[in-house]
Amino acid sequence: MTVDSQHPETIVLHAGYRADPATGSVAVPIYQTTSYQFRDTQHAADLFALKELGNIYTRIMNPTCDVLEKRVAALEGGVAGLALASGQSASAMALQNIAHAGDNVVSSTDLYGGTWNLFANTLKDQGIEVRFVDPSDPENFRRATDDRTRAYYAETLPNPKLAVFPIKEVADIGRPLGIPLIMDNTAAPILCRPLDHGAAVVVYSTTKYIGGHGTSIGGLIVDGGKFDWEAVPTRQPYLNQPDPSYHGAVWTQAVKGIGPVAYIIKARTTLLRDLGACMSPFNAFASIQGLETLPLRMREHCRNGMAVAEFLKGHPAVSRVIYPGLMDGEARRRADTYLKGGFGGLVGFELSGGRDAGRDFIDALKLLYHVANIGDARSLAIHPASTTHSQLEPEELAATGVSDGYVRLSIGLEHIDDILADLGQALHAATGMRAAAE
């Protein structure tokens, strides 16, 4: 049974699973198995020929992963999901599925650093050119497009700039050209459903808010099922021409009897089969535990995030606060259009004392963890100029939105009084140390 509720609170608890058919277990079991007994040789042949869908081998599918896939797909309003080993593998495979050597992708410049590396180096080495454009003008995507452009790519709520991406504007540019918009929604689950605004595909690092507990690396691709991959067949050759890696299947035709799932079935049966970056059943189980409380947690992340942003705004040691809920003009209009129920848990700010003040602030924190992660139930902090972005030149730092005194916070679920007390004492310690050193 699958739930037909439209409410995220219900979907995360019920979609895709209702008691284990073998045991009645209410919790989703961890199917820690590599392989599955075929009923007979015909059954095996039908599974391999995609005449019947079913379990073959855990590198390609697994019942625990299947629940996570169905649940996140239902949450996003999509038709199917694909669980992967990490967010990185989700971003890579989302593009490799439809772009090969000689093709290009147009991507927003506002990206997680790991995705930037993947696009600028590894995909480039594979012959896939990623063209980075400034998303503040959506028309930049059209300008960078040519005949070999296979996809547009962006993050809903990219840090450090935290400027919400113009999803509908860019999806509308791509659709008539046959170009899908792929959105990384890692920082804004529940707050935004990119598919509702015209995106074709959503990717997640489940490592972050979906898990929430900071125990398990994972990634997911959701196929929205609404993008017409056949509208401009020359634009999407790998879904419209015979695929030699699966005995000549033309994916848009091969899945007609199953549903609008050509994109995701191809990713599973070719790329996941060949590259093997599958999610482990245990990590799927852990991610499901997190997912079950995601709507509740996002409300608190947003509430605490806003309170922290307001607190920092009024603090004399802080020269600038970067938070969607405090932005003006077009950035604020996009935040209001695309984020519902709050502005998220990520808060950036700049210390007037620059790089030294940033380091002193981090070193003085007692409650907040100093880690390279976001979306944990615990509050986290990092000073990018001395860590994640320390190799960049000053002009590159400026382009990515990281100034010397920039600090990124991922605000968690602790009591707000304790979070503010820790931030307050660390700001005091950092600015006091600076004064003493001068």
User: Between the CA of residue 60 and those of 22, 199, 274, 281, 292, what are the distances in Å?
Assistant: 22, 25, 9, 12, 24
The answer to the question of residue 110 lying near ligand PLP (CB under 6 A) is no
C-alpha–C-alpha distance, residues 354 and 173, integer Å: 40
Which of residues 104, 107, 207, 280 is near ligand PLP by CB under 6 A?
A: 207
Q: Quick one: which segment of 74-82, 108-116, 119-127, 416-424 binds ligand PLP (CB under 6 A)?
A: 108-116
| Partners of 220 in the β-ladder | 83, 204
The answer to the question of residue 77 lying near ligand PLP (CB under 6 A) is no
User: Between the CA of residue 326 and those of 57, 305, 311, 423, what are the distances in Å?
Assistant: 49, 11, 12, 19
Closest CA to 202 of 180, 218, 179: 180
Taking residues 160 to 189 in sequence order and writing x for each that binds ligand PLP by CB under 6 A, - otherwise, the string is ------------------------x-xx--
Closest CA to 124 of 105, 146, 145: 105
Q: CA torsion sign, 224 to 80 to 132 to 336?
A: positive
List all residues 6 or more positions away from 385 whose beta carbon is below 8 Å from its beta carbon: 355, 358, 397, 402, 403, 404, 405, 406
How many residues bind to ligand PLP according to rule CB under 6 A? 16
Q: Quick one: which segment of 47-55, 109-117, 270-278, 380-388 binds ligand PLP (CB under 6 A)?
A: 109-117
Closest CA to 68 of 57, 84, 53: 84
User: Which of the residues 25 through 64 are near ligand PLP (CB under 6 A)?
Assistant: none
Closest CA to 352 of 399, 397, 386, 315: 315
Closer Cβ to ligand PLP, 73 or 279, answer by number: 279
Which residue's Cβ has the minimum distance to ligand PLP?
Answer: 87
Closer Cβ to ligand PLP, 217 or 339, answer by number: 217
Left (φ > 0), alpha (ψ -120 to 50) or beta: where does 180 sit? beta
The answer to the question of residue 224 lying near ligand PLP (CB under 6 A) is no
The answer to the question of residue 156 lying near ligand PLP (CB under 6 A) is no
Whether the Cβ atoms of residue 255 and residue 37 lie closer than 8 Å to each other: no
The answer to the question of residue 88 lying near ligand PLP (CB under 6 A) is yes
The answer to the question of residue 269 lying near ligand PLP (CB under 6 A) is no
Closer Cβ to ligand PLP, 159 or 236, answer by number: 159
Closer Cβ to ligand PLP, 16 or 219, answer by number: 219
Closer Cβ to ligand PLP, 17 or 119, answer by number: 119
Closer Cβ to ligand PLP, 240 or 280, answer by number: 280
Give the interface with ligand PLP as residue ranges (CB under 6 A): 86-88, 91, 112, 114-115, 155, 184, 186-187, 205, 207, 217, 219, 374
